[in-house]
Amino acid sequence: MQRFAFLLILVVLTTAALAESEVYISARTDGQDGTGTPADPFNGSTQQKFDGVLAKLGPGTTIHIGAGTFHTKGEASFKLQPNTKVRGAGMEVTKIIQDGTGKVSAIVFAGRADGVEIEDLSIDCGYQNQRVVDGKIKANVAAINLGGSHIAVRRCLVRNYGSPYDAETGENFAVFIGSPDPDNGENLVVEDCIFAGMSPLCAAGASVLTIAGGPPANTLEAGNWARGTVARRNHFTGYHYGCHGVTMSGAQGGIIADNVFEHFMGACVYQDTWPMRDIVIQNNIMSDVNQGIRLAGDNLDMNNFQIRNNILLVNDGYDLKCVEKGVAHTVIPHTFAVGNKIAFKGLKITDGKGLAGDCAYVTSIPSPSSFTYSLVRGGASDTADTAAGGFIQPLDYQGCMCPAPEAIVIFSGGGEKLHPPKNFAIDRNVIKSYSSDDSCRVRSTGILLQNLQHSLVTNNIVVDSGNHRDLLIVSTKGFSSSVICRDNYHPDLTPLMPRDGKLNIIPNGLLDLPLEAGRGIALMPNNGKIRIEATGIGAGATGEASAPTIARQVSPVGPAANHNSPGKPGDYALHSGYLYLYTGDGTAHEWKRIQLVDY
């Protein structure tokens, strides 16, 4: 009996301890404070009450926030303790809005603590609610900033973040999780979240999701790595230029996978700080973006990357519904900001004169799908123009790091020590313009690699944007790239030729041409193209003359219509920018078509 009583007391005490580590908060309407149980939740109906409850909670508490809208001053009122779990009732079911804090830094959930999890809620960072100085908002406003290990953010919707980006407010990170000291920063995960865009009051972009460490060198022994970093199945939309979607810096062993970026005028995946190693970037969709993957390594190392199976659709301008009395209406939300320089193309102008000019400047954004413009920078809005159809070509993005659309760019820059990126595999990516066909209205860069060593570029498909910048392998002074390019194509299956910084075809790229040199054909770089020459009659193994590979020009009608058209060894034909080579044996007929733009 005594043993039974002891066990009963132990069960009661254990149950009480567990109950104390879980609290419930609701937007009560009865005026009662509550005791924090499921049946009697704490009252979080006002900012003071909500923040007051969170400020009193200790480490290891699971906080259940019920349905409703809750107001907070975030970090100005409380910080999350170690092993805290914040769990809402679902996106847009539990809504948290940050009120004015009066602070330069206004973050909803912040703390230096291991084991924090935040799940199933919406966070309105409340940029519009923050302090105003000289008539302008002066604050850096974010949703989450946590330092430590074993941190996870799941199924959260984040909006209205931003910063003026000046010396006082600094760079904005809507969600930041990372390593606060050299021995901490493992298992950092953000998944299944929606980042619905910065505040429309901001003029520029943000590093929306940042997972970072900060090792001083790229060695396995160095501390302060962000180890085991994961960003997957997140959705990013944004109508600002210069954004960074996922920034993963100082990471060892990271995955950026299965994310979707839409109408995102910046780098969807970005890094420029601290060494990086052992990173996989795969299966992401980047739709209507100004920059896809941009990895910069100034004075730091980037080793062991796989970039594969991504779809990158680069911005090629915006289709117009119409222009009415000087207000331009776009088919989809645009990404312009006041001051952007633009050009109107292909319009049917029915009234006014401004649209016939070479360029214009955005003056206001009445809605995400409309804007007004002036013919001169800083001028008054034009109000007389009326037009239909056509599209808009962006000419600059006012402060964006790289206004020309780029899909994949990896480089190491200047400095006393230059660390070339090493061991990259860039494979099976599809790069084209954001359009209903394969045409490019705005020139773009497909893949640009600077100073890469021991790397592969294979099996990629890149639409020709008309400027020979589809695949560039560039070396700066004192360095040479070592990149094998194989089986890369345009959508019509013509080969994608690697070029250098001057747009000349790289000679070692000849290994992948769809014809064979040395058997009656000489291939030589010539002013950015490849010159093809028939070498004439050569001596065979027995000393007898052998027929050249190219011997006789024939009519292109047959091979242009049918690649199995009859022919003879040595036949070739020219037609509409293509060279046709007969590769059959005289009985089984076959012709190979080669686009002459590269030859």
Cα 457 to Cα 448: distance, rounded to the nearest angstrom = 11
List the one residue out of 379, 483, 375, 378 whose CA is nearest residue 421: 483
Cα 351 to Cα 210: distance, rounded to the nearest angstrom = 48
Task: State residue 436's pLDDT score.
Answer: 75
The tokens of 13 are what?
Answer: 């005490």
| For residues 259-281, average pLDDT | 90
| For residues 514-542, average pLDDT | 48
Question: Rounded to the nearest 5°, which phi and psi values hold at 573?
Answer: -145, 155
Task: State residue 3's pLDDT score.
Answer: 47
Model pTM score: 0.81
Q: What percent of the chain has pLDDT over 70?
A: 83
Strands 302-308 and 471-474: unpaired
Cα 145 to Cα 123: distance, rounded to the nearest angstrom = 13
Cα 384 to Cα 467: distance, rounded to the nearest angstrom = 36
Task: State residue 8's pLDDT score.
Answer: 43
Type of residue found at 315: N
**Segment 413-426, tens digit of pLDDT:** 555 556 788 999 99
**Segment 95-144, tens digit of pLDDT:** 999 999 999 999 999 999 999 999 999 999 999 999 999 999 999 999 99
| For residues 257-283, average pLDDT | 91
The tokens of 184 are what?
Answer: 């901490």
Cα 165 to Cα 127: distance, rounded to the nearest angstrom = 13
pLDDT at 297 exceeding the cut of 90: no
Highest mean pLDDT among 268-277, 304-313, 520-529: 304-313
The tokens of 102 are what?
Answer: 């009066």
Q: How confident is the model at residue 273 (pLDDT cuts 50, 70, 90)?
A: confident
The tokens of 15 are what?
Answer: 């149950």
Q: How confident is the model at residue 443 (pLDDT cuts 50, 70, 90)?
A: confident
Looking at per-residue confidence, does 222 or 31 come out higher?
Answer: 31
pLDDT at 274 exceeding the cut of 60: yes
For residue 342, give Cα distances in angstroms to 336, 338, 362, 549: 9, 11, 8, 51
- Using H for helix, E for strand and C for coil, what is the string for 507-575? HHHHHHCCCCCCCCEEEEEECCEEEEEECCCEECCCCCEECCCCCEECCCHHHHHCCCCCCCCCEEEEE
Least confident of 91-100, 168-177, 385-394, 475-484: 475-484
| For residues 308-331, average pLDDT | 93
Residues with Cβ < 8 Å from 28, sequence gap 6 or more? 34, 41, 43, 44, 45
Task: State residue 401's pLDDT score.
Answer: 53
Task: State residue 531's pLDDT score.
Answer: 60
Strands 241-249 and 260-271: parallel
Cα 42 to Cα 50: distance, rounded to the nearest angstrom = 8
Task: State residue 121's pLDDT score.
Answer: 98
Cα 464 to Cα 287: distance, rounded to the nearest angstrom = 18
pLDDT at 541 exceeding the cut of 60: no
Task: State residue 522's pLDDT score.
Answer: 55
Q: How confident is the model at residue 507 (pLDDT cuts 50, 70, 90)?
A: low
**Count of helices and strands (H, E) across the chain:** 3, 49
Please check whether residue 114 is in contact with residue 82, taking contact to mean a CB–CB distance below 8 angstroms.
yes
Cα 335 to Cα 264: distance, rounded to the nearest angstrom = 8
Query: 278 — alpha (psi -120 to 50), left (phi > 0) or beta?
Result: left
Cα 513 to Cα 520: distance, rounded to the nearest angstrom = 15
Q: How confident is the model at residue 233 (pLDDT cuts 50, 70, 90)?
A: very high
Task: State residue 177's pLDDT score.
Answer: 96
Q: How confident is the model at residue 299 (pLDDT cuts 50, 70, 90)?
A: low
Residue 295 burial by Cβ neighbours in a 10 Å radius (0-12, 13-18, 19+):
buried
Q: How confident is the model at residue 17 (pLDDT cuts 50, 70, 90)?
A: very low
Highest mean pLDDT among 77-81, 226-230, 504-508: 77-81
Cα 35 to Cα 42: distance, rounded to the nearest angstrom = 6
Cα 156 to Cα 118: distance, rounded to the nearest angstrom = 8
Q: How confident is the model at residue 479 (pLDDT cuts 50, 70, 90)?
A: confident
For 477, half-sphere exposure in the C-beta direction (CA atoms, 13 angstrom radius) is: 3
Task: State residue 138's pLDDT score.
Answer: 94
Task: State residue 216's pLDDT score.
Answer: 66
Least confident of 90-94, 235-239, 416-420, 435-439: 416-420
∠ CA 289-293-296 to the nearest 5 degrees? 130
Cα 251 to Cα 248: distance, rounded to the nearest angstrom = 6
Task: State residue 263's pLDDT score.
Answer: 87
Cα 253 to Cα 74: distance, rounded to the nearest angstrom = 32
Task: Count CB neighbours of 524 within 10 A.
Answer: 12
List the one residue out of 313, 252, 286, 272 whose CA is nearest residue 411: 272
List own/partner pairs for 371-379 with CB under 8 A and 24 or more apart. 371/327, 371/328, 371/330, 371/334, 371/336, 372/326, 372/327, 372/328, 373/326, 373/328, 373/342, 377/339, 377/341
Please check whether residue 270 is in contact with residue 281, taking contact to mean a CB–CB distance below 8 angstroms.
no
List the one residue out of 182, 199, 289 whose CA is nearest residue 246: 289
Cα 402 to Cα 203: distance, rounded to the nearest angstrom = 16
Calculate the average pLDDT of the chain.
84
For 144, half-sphere exposure in the C-beta direction (CA atoms, 13 angstrom radius) is: 33
| For residues 403-422, average pLDDT | 77
Least confident of 4-18, 121-135, 373-387, 462-476: 4-18
Both ends of the chain: CA-CA distance in Å? 96
Task: State residue 427's pLDDT score.
Answer: 98
**Segment 163-173, tens digit of pLDDT:** 998 889 999 99
